[in-house]
Chain A
Amino acid sequence: MSNTIHDMGGMHGFGRVEEEPNEPVFHSNWESRVYAMNRAMGPLGLWTIDEGRAAQEALHPAVYASASYYQRWLLGLEARALQHGLVTSEELAAGKAIELNDRPNKIFKVEDAVGLTRSNFDRAPAGKAVFKTGDRVRTLNINPQGHTRLPRYARDKIGEVEAVRGCHVFPDSVANGKGDDPQWLYTVVFDGKVLWGSDAEPGLKVSIEAFEPYIEAL
C-alpha cells in the first residue's frame, strides 16, 4: 500500500526528536533475534527487500503507529512466513514445528556473517536513460494501491535531475510480484518552497531517489 502511515514525510504531530544517551545496539534480546532472523531469511531468496517493506506497510495504521520498530519487523516477518507457507499459525501458537515440510536448499550459516554486505540492486537496462543531469522534471501524481517508493510529499512536484544512479530493481514491480522490471534511478532535487510553500525554511533543498517511471519531462 502506498498512501498509509509509513509515508511520514511532512506529517505534523509526532513531537520532538528524542536522542537516547549511550543507546545500545539492541535494547533487549528479542530485538536482536528479530533483526537477525530478518537478515538470515533475506538471502534465502523467498522474498525481496521491497516485499519485506510492503509487509510492514500493510499493517493497520494504528498498529504501525503504536508498535515499536522491531515489533513491526516481527509482525512483517510473521506475515511473510505465513503467506509463503513456511510456518502455520498453529505452529506459531504451539511454538514448535508440526508439519516438517521440505527444507530450503540454502540457509544462512555462521560463516556468512563475516561479510554481511548489501545486495547489489543494479540490473541491466532495457534501454538508455531518458533523463540526464540538469533536466527539469515533474514527478507524477500517482496513488497506487500497491507498494511504491515515491513519497506523497514529492508527488506532482517540479524538480531537477541531479544525478543518474544507474539502473535498479523497480520496487513498484518486484514488491507486487511482477519481477525486477529494471528502471533507471535518478536523484531529483526540489526547492523547499516547491514542496512546502512560502513558509518553507530558508535555503532548504530536498532530494528523493526517483525511478524513471515516477517522472516526466517538463
Chain B
Amino acid sequence: MSINEERGQNDLTEHSHNHSHEHGEMSELSDTELRVRSLETVLAEKGYVDSAALDAIVEAYETRIGPQNGQRVIARAWVDLDFRSKLLEDASTAVNTMGNVSPVGSHLIAVENTPKRHNMVVCTLCSCYPWEVLGLPPTWYKSAPYRSRAVLEPRAVLAEFGVTLPDQTEVRVWDSTAETRYIVLPMRPAGTEGWSEEQLAALVTRNSMIGTGLAQRPDEKTEGS
C-alpha cells in the first residue's frame, strides 16, 4: 500500500457512511488527502518517517492486532479458572503467557461481569482503548454521542445496542482517564458446557469486551461476528 493509492473522498465533517462513491484514477484528491500526502512526503524526505514502516503499522492493525486477540483471552478465561484469576489480578502479565495472542504492554486491566454487575468502558476525554487486545476502536466508541452519554446514561446507550439489564444490576462505567486500559470479561453464555476455547471465542463479540454488548448465546451466533 502506498500513498499513491489514494481512494475515497472525505470532507471536513464526520466521515460519510456512503463509501460506495469511490473514484477512479482520474479523481481529484480531497483537501484532507492532499494534506496527508504532503505531510508524509515532507516527513519522509526529512527522515522522520519511513513509508515502508508506515505500511507495516497499517498492515499490523488490519491483520494481527484486532479483537481476535481479546476473543482468545476471554475464551481462555472461561475454561481455565487459574488463568481467569491471573487475568483479573494482572491482565498484561496473564495475556503475555498465552502465546497465541500478540504481545501487550503495561497497565491492561480486566474487569469481570457478574449477575450483579455489568461493566462498560469509555474514554470521555479522547479515545483510550485497549488497542493490543481489541485493535483500533470502532468509530462509535470515539464519537461524541458515546463519549458524552456513556457516563451519564449508560442504560440508555446499552438500549441502543439492544442490551437491557435488570434495574437491580449495578452498571459500572470505567472512564479511561489515564494510561490504564480496560477490557471487560463478559459472562459465559449458558448452554456452552464442554465447548472448546475456539468455539467459545466465536461467541465473544468486540462489543461484549467493551461492555456495550453481551457474549452471544449459542442460538444467536452469527457468521463473522
Residue of A nearest to B59 (CB): A113
Contact between B160 and A36, CB atoms less than 8 A apart? no
Tell me whether A115 is interfacial, beta carbon within 8 Å.
yes
By a CB distance below 8 angstroms, the chain B residues around A203 are: 167-171
Residues A117 and B105 in contact in the complex (CB < 8 Å), given A97-B45, A207-B174: yes
Distance in Å: Cβ of B97 to nearest Cβ of chain A: 15
Contact between B57 and A40, CB atoms less than 8 A apart? yes
Contact between A14 and B175, CB atoms less than 8 A apart? no
Contact between A118 and B148, CB atoms less than 8 A apart? no
Tell me whether A136 is interfacial, beta carbon within 8 Å.
no
Tell me whether B25 is interfacial, beta carbon within 8 Å.
no
Contact between B155 and A201, CB atoms less than 8 A apart? yes
Contact between A151 and B60, CB atoms less than 8 A apart? no
Max chain A Cβ within 10 angstroms of own Cβ: one of B37, B38, B54: B54
Q: Give the CA-CA distance A68 to B48 in the complex, in Å.
A: 25
Contact between B53 and A113, CB atoms less than 8 A apart? yes
Tell me whether B194 is interfacial, beta carbon within 8 Å.
no
Contact of A104 among B14, B47, B155, B176 (CB under 8 A): B47
Chain A proximity mask over B1-42: 1 for CB below 8 Å, otherwise 0: 101011110101111010100000000000011111111111
Contact between A37 and B49, CB atoms less than 8 A apart? yes
Q: Give the CA-CA distance A5 to B194 in the complex, in Å.
A: 49
Q: Give the CA-CA distance A203 to B136 in the complex, in Å.
A: 30
Task: Count B interface residues, CB 8 Å.
Answer: 97
Q: Give the CA-CA distance A107 to B44 in the complex, in Å.
A: 10
Tell me whether B145 is interfacial, beta carbon within 8 Å.
yes
By a CB distance below 8 angstroms, the chain B residues around A193 are: none
Contact of B42 among A34, A92, A118, A209 (CB under 8 A): A92
Contact between B42 and A19, CB atoms less than 8 A apart? no
Task: Count A interface residues, CB 8 Å.
Answer: 98
Chain B proximity mask over A10-26: 1 for CB below 8 Å, otherwise 0: 11101111111011011
By a CB distance below 8 angstroms, the chain B residues around A56 are: 126
Contact between B105 and A119, CB atoms less than 8 A apart? yes
Tell me whether A60 is interfacial, beta carbon within 8 Å.
no
Contact between B37 and A23, CB atoms less than 8 A apart? no
**Residues of chain A in range 100-154 having any CB-CB distance to chain B below 8 Å:** 100-101, 103-104, 107-110, 112-122, 149-151, 153-154
By a CB distance below 8 angstroms, the chain A residues around B152 are: 9-10, 153, 196
Contact between A207 and B54, CB atoms less than 8 A apart? no
Tell me whether A96 is interfacial, beta carbon within 8 Å.
yes
Contact between B145 and A95, CB atoms less than 8 A apart? no
Q: Give the CA-CA distance A121 to B125 in the complex, in Å.
A: 18
Q: Give the CA-CA distance A35 to B137 in the complex, in Å.
A: 12
Chain B proximity mask over A59-76: 1 for CB below 8 Å, otherwise 0: 000000111110100100
Distance in Å: Cβ of B104 to nearest Cβ of chain A: 6
Query: Which candidate, B61-69, B76-84, B184-192, is the interface stretch facing chain A?
Result: B61-69
Contact between B43 and A37, CB atoms less than 8 A apart? yes
Contact between B105 and A100, CB atoms less than 8 A apart? no
Contact between B139 and A23, CB atoms less than 8 A apart? yes
Tell me whether B94 is interfacial, beta carbon within 8 Å.
no
Max chain B Cβ within 10 angstroms of own Cβ: one of A68, A74, A150: A68
Q: Give the CA-CA distance A177 to B62 in the complex, in Å.
A: 35
Distance in Å: Cβ of A207 to nearest Cβ of chain B: 6
Cross-chain pairs A/B with CB under 8 angstroms, 28 sampled: A16-B160, A27-B19, A28-B33, A32-B1, A33-B54, A35-B58, A35-B136, A36-B54, A66-B12, A66-B14, A68-B12, A68-B15, A71-B32, A78-B35, A87-B39, A91-B42, A94-B38, A97-B45, A100-B46, A115-B103, A116-B60, A116-B65, A118-B132, A187-B180, A189-B172, A204-B171, A205-B172, A211-B178
Top-4 shortest CB links A-B: A118-B105, A9-B124, A103-B47, A209-B178
